[in-house]
Structure 1
Amino acid sequence: MKKILSLALAMLLVLVSLVGCGKQENKEQAGGESSAGKMIVRHNINSDPETIDPALNAAVEGATILVNAFEGLMRLDKNDKAIPGVAESYEVSEDGLTYTFHLRDCKWSDGKPVKAQDFEYAWKRVLNPATAADYAYQMYYIKNGEKYNKGEASADEVGVKAIDDKTLEVKLIAPTPYFLELTAFPTYFPVRKDVVEKDPEGWALNPETHISNGPFKVVKWDHNNVLALEKNENYYDKDRVKLDGIEFYMMTEASTSLSAFESGEVDIIDDMPSEEIPRLKAESDEFKIFPQLGTYFYVFNTTKEPVNDPKVRKALALAIDRKAIVEVITKAGQQPALTFVAPGIKEPDGKEFYKKAKDYGLRETAQVEEAKKLLAEAGYPDGKGFPELTVIYNTSEGHKAIAEAIQEMWKKNLGIEVKLQNQEWKVFQETRDRGDFVIARHGWLGDYTDPMTFLDMWYSTSGNNNAHWKNKEFDKLINEAKTTSDEKARFELMHKAEDLMMEDMIVMPIYYYTNPEMIKSYVKNVRISPLGFVYYDEAYIEK
């Protein structure tokens, strides 16, 4: 009996020990570490990126992957100002038109050297009309960039040239105060010609061929589930990188995302049900609201009836209650938007650009009588005869709530009925880009801290011009603003450009973004930029 009791006691001790080990392993996994003991942050980015090709991406979740997997000539500091990246130094000519960048010794994730030719190839690829890059217009600052993109010049005439493996010369059409910051934007990242041209359509979709030069590299992409990065041991400044990797999850529903965060399945989320925000504010020190340079809006397809009539567009924009949307629905400190260019950009005199904008007639609350008057002038008194149309938005609880509120406001204030349709993110992007819509949800975060980042997207040939709006006077103002060296005149030209697009009401501003996030307390040094990027190059997990 003693032997049996001793054996039973020994077995019980073993079982207790195993249970204890199991609990400890789960605790470590919930703290951002895998069972292998690696330091990995798990971040829900809500949607599967359409692409992680630097030339083709035009969305925030794709850019979040790209800024961690690649590095440009420059990178951005905590104030989003340019500091040396792949280029360890540079010179600018006295007239501000020629930049000469000197590359440091650095490698691609497969160990091959990064060369100046990689930048020349990448930039000309963006401008190549065959690439059909939405962001090609962002390289119109480069000499003959626009002409090449329009088929009016050859690639050899574009003002970017590798002098040798370590020297890149760039010629601009005019001095550009924010050009160095632009070189840190994903569109300006380098790519390898041999990698891209071996599989032009699929290289960026396959982790094995997604060769990059940044702090991390892509090692797994299980679409609509998880995209994993791991530390790039060939990165020139790898000692600055503390994380072993990042796992990006793609949970679309905000409620699912929050549940995953609260159960310890993910460490960072940037979408949560708005009705939960008051509770999270009160109860959790892991809930934070970061500033964000951006505007949430609806875009009108100006080629489609009935919104091809400016009076209809203005009536719709005047008939919504922006204050109610931010106070009742979004609840994260957003400000009703009455202009398109968002707060956070200052003019040379130190004043905010948006505060010096004209009065475009929009108010925080609905202007019902004026809206009804405009709709009647457009031929739809009290909404009678207004054609059936559909508002599209990408699948999200938050977007749905806003769409339903606007649907009800238009019905109550104008007497019109609209249908709502949600689409999965990739499908939605394609629908919007094709112009296969009448009214669509939209949002824009600044790519750099200058009003131009909000304005040149409406240039006639811009790949991001989802309004399909063409205005020669607007194009002229944008061109003049990009070529003048007089800063005061440049800002005046940009104000005039915003006046044209807003007086024509090609978009319906709703609110200026904030960035509510849930971040586990043990995740340290993640840099969340007002431009929408999330940087992990100096992040770590506190054990």
Structure 2
Amino acid sequence: MTRRAGLAGLLGAAAVTTLAACGGSEEEGSGGTEGGGSGGDVIANGTEPQNPLVPTSTNEVGGGRLLDSLWAGLVYYQADGSPQNDVAESIESADAQNYTITIKPDQTFSDGTPVTAQSFVDAWNYGALGTNAQLSSYFFEPIQGFEDVQAEPPVAQTMSGLQVVDDTTFTVALTQPESDFPLRLGYSAFYPLPASAFDDMAAFGESPIGNGPYKLAAPDAWQHNVRIDFVPNETYTGPRQAQNDSLAFVFYETYDAAYADLQSGNLDVIDNIPPSALATFQDDLGERAVNQPAAVFQSFTIPQNLPHFSGEEGKLRRQAISHAIDRAQVCETVFQDTRTPAKDFTSPVIDGYSETVPGSEVLAYDPEEAKRLWAEADAISPYTGTFTIAYNSDGGHQEWVDATAAYIRQTLGIQAEGAPYPTFAALRTDVTNRTITGAFRTGWQADYPGLYNFLAPIYATGAGSNDGDYSNPEFDALLNQAAAQTDAAASNELLQQAQTILFEDLPAIPLWYSNVTGGSSEAASDVQFGWNSVPLYYQITKS
């Protein structure tokens, strides 16, 4: 048994995280007046979105929570992750490959124009078309004709697998059976777009028009790097009726500033507790504190092209680094037991999760094995330079990054340190542009509650959130086999096999699963956090 190095000798702090992925998470509204309640003006914390608010090009949490308030999809997710129809009247298939989708009649966008089957088909085709360079285009890959619209130059402008039948009906033909396809349809990439969006998509993203429970308070309601203001959308007739009079997201530079505003009553709900308060927030807030499991996975990614981290040498170094980190001690000392050491690449709140996937022993803290593997890699090519882990300073990540770097430095005898970026958007820009020069913090907040969603969008070849450019044909083949299953248990078994490959290659270093740690002000009521750690903003009221 290895001996755990005390973190007190390395660091003494706490940390929180903000993630690079986003998804919808809602629960049925509690009724109330159509188009808005009388529950006061609610203020929540947020982060400046990386991109304009176009559903198919927003794949981070700052923009994702805004999309989920402005839009309604075919389905939405209740607090426990179970899907329920929103715009959809029915989603039917006899073979899990050919789907007929019927939407509810008389649906409208917030500008009064109708939501039709064409609104979905046009939006999905726009998102899939390669020349539009949408970050979430990967989600349309299962649809027939995707390869044609992704070709350079495109062979077609629209996917052959999408056909409009009438104003309320369209069909979707997939390339193979995919039984969890309906489960995915609550994710923001599948939201509809009004016809006006296609006149100037960049301008639309700055002043979006959705069909959800909220709309912009004014065309210029998005004050970049400051805040964005919503009011209830009176045209929305779905189950997520806004129970408050308005909803504002304030983009704080630090979570410490947000938490101070929560305590003074200037903020109504916070979804991440700052490092300085993790040890005390439950005593500070009492029943208003939240510390509950969520479908959130944390890691850091080492790019495949980083010097010394490709081929056999790279595998050895990745395994060495993984063994060098005492995850349990970081979770206890840094996170005050608001994190759980990772046992896989998914989340324990997702159906099919297992903590005994073959190969997962690489996550065990074992300094001697780490040193042996590193020496074996040095025999191939001696390591030089400093190992860095990039993170965004506005997300409260410094403490855990410093702790992790300290373990790597102490165990492997190399220089290792954090590489701070001032904002999440700045970090994501370098990651997206592939101009980042070291490892970088990553994580996944599930788009929909399925194991597949934790694997395919991040590690499949060419996937939209595959920021490390990992590629393994055997892994891809298992993903495809799992997706084709009509039995959930059989699919999950194949996905666990796929994870054994990830443990061998370690395209990302799994760290821990996050609890959602948050809270609300004394004036806020009906505050509930969903399965993916996002508050159900529409049902919050304020005295």
Decide which moves more: 118-127 or 421-430.
421-430
Partner of 1:185: 187
**Partner residue of 1:176?**
178
**Does residue 110 in structure 1 map to residue 108 in structure 2?**
no
User: What does the per-residue CA deviation read over 1:224-274, in whole Å, with 9 as the maximum and x for residues that have no partner?
Assistant: 111111111121249932211111011131211111111111111122333
The Cα of 1:77 is off from its aligned counterpart by: 2.6
Q: Which has the larger radius of gyration?
A: 1
| 2:359 counterpart residue number | 359
Q: Which residue is equivalent to 1:433?
A: 432
Provide the C-alpha distance between the structure 2 equivalents of 1:397 and 1:218, rounded to a whole number of angstroms.
26
Whole-angstrom CA distance in 2 between matches of 1:508 and 1:239: 37
Structure 1, unmatched stretches of 5+, are 1-36, 348-352
**Superimposed CA distance per residue, residues 327-374 of structure 1 (whole angstroms, 9 cap, x where no aligned partner):** 111124311113212211223xxxxx222411332345x311111111
* TM-score, normalised with respect to structure 2: 0.86
Cα distance, 1:504 vs structure 2:
0.7
What is the deviation of 1:488? 4.0
Partner SS, residue 455 of structure 1? helix
* TM-aligned CA deviation for residue 156 of structure 1: 4.2
Structure 1: which amino acid aligns with 2:297?
T
Q: Provide the alpha-carbon RMSD of the alignment.
A: 2.3
Partners of 2:86 and 2:239 within 8 A in 1: no
- Displacement, 1:414? 0.6
> What is the match of residue 540 of structure 2?
539
- Report the equivalent of 2:78: 77
1:98 deviation in Å?
Answer: 2.1
Could you tell me which residue of structure 1 aligns to residue 330 of structure 2? 325
Give 1:397 deviation, angstroms. Answer: 6.2
Q: Does 1:340 align with 2:338?
A: no
Tell me the SS of whatever aligns to 2:361. coil
1:159 match: 161
Q: Is the 8 A contact 1:148 1:158 kept in 2?
A: no
Contact 2:322/2:363 (<8 A) preserved: no
Per the TM alignment, residue 148 of structure 1 is displaced from its structure 2 partner at its CA by: 3.1
Residues 376-397 of structure 1, C-alpha deviation per residue, up to 9 Å, x if partnerless?
111179x974323432111146
- Is 1:293 aligned to 2:295, yes or no? yes
Summarize the Cα distance change of 1:531–1:279 in structure 2 as closer, same or farther, 3 Å threshold: closer
Task: Give the secondary-structure state (helix, strand or coil) at the position aligned to 1:378.
Answer: helix
Conserved? CA contact 1:226–1:247, under 8 Å: yes
Partner of 1:316: 321
Equivalent residue number for residue 29 of structure 1:
none
CA deviation digits over 1:273-306, x for unaligned, max 9? 3342222222322211132112111001011112
1:21 matched residue in structure 2 = none
In structure 2, the residue matched to 1:499 is 500
**Structure 1 CA distance, aligned partners of 2:48 and 2:292?**
21
> Aligned partners of 1:203 and 1:429: how far apart in 2?
22
Q: Report which stretch shifted further, 405-414 or 487-496.
A: 487-496
Matched, 1:134 2:140: no
Distance of 1:402 and 1:339 partners within structure 2 = 19
**CA gap 1:88/1:282 in 2 versus in 1, 3 angstroms:** same
Q: 1:406 to 1:91 in 2, by over 3 A?
A: closer
Task: State the percentage of identical aligned residues.
Answer: 23
Please, which of 414, 419, 422 is the counterpart of residue 420 of structure 2?
422
Aligned runs of 1:361-400 on 2, under 5 Å? 361-363=361-363, 366-379=365-378, 385-396=383-394, 398-400=396-398
Query: How is 1:21-170 mapped onto 2 (pairs within 5 angstroms)?
Result: 39-93=40-94, 97-150=98-151, 154-170=156-172
**Residues 425-447 of structure 1, C-alpha deviations (whole Å, 9 max, x = no match):** 11111111222232000111121
Out of 199, 213, 216, the position equivalent to 2:214 is: 216
Cα contact 1:60–1:532 (8 A) shared by 2: no
Mean Cα displacement is larger for which, 72-81 or 253-262?
A: 72-81
TM-score, normalisation: structure 1: 0.86
Q: SS state of the match for residue 88, structure 1?
A: strand
Aligned length in residues? 495
Question: Counterpart of 2:370 in 1: which secondary structure?
Answer: helix
| 1:309-336 deviation per Cα after TM superposition (whole angstroms, max 9, x unaligned) | 1111111111011112111111243111
DSSP 3-state at the match of 1:362: helix
Change (3 A) 1:104 1:523: farther
Query: Offset of 1:461 from its aligned partner?
Result: 1.3
Is residue 453 from structure 1 mapped to residue 458 from structure 2 by the alignment?
A: no
Residue type of the alignment partner of 1:337? A
Matching residue's letter, 2:160: V
- Flag the structure with more relative contact order, 1 or 2, with Cα contacts below 8 A and sequence separation at least 6: 2
- C-alpha deviations, 1:81-105, integer Å up to 9, x for none? 2222112234333565222323321
Q: CA offset at residue 419 of structure 1? A: 3.8
Counterparts of 1:73 and 1:153 in 2: how far apart (Å)? 29
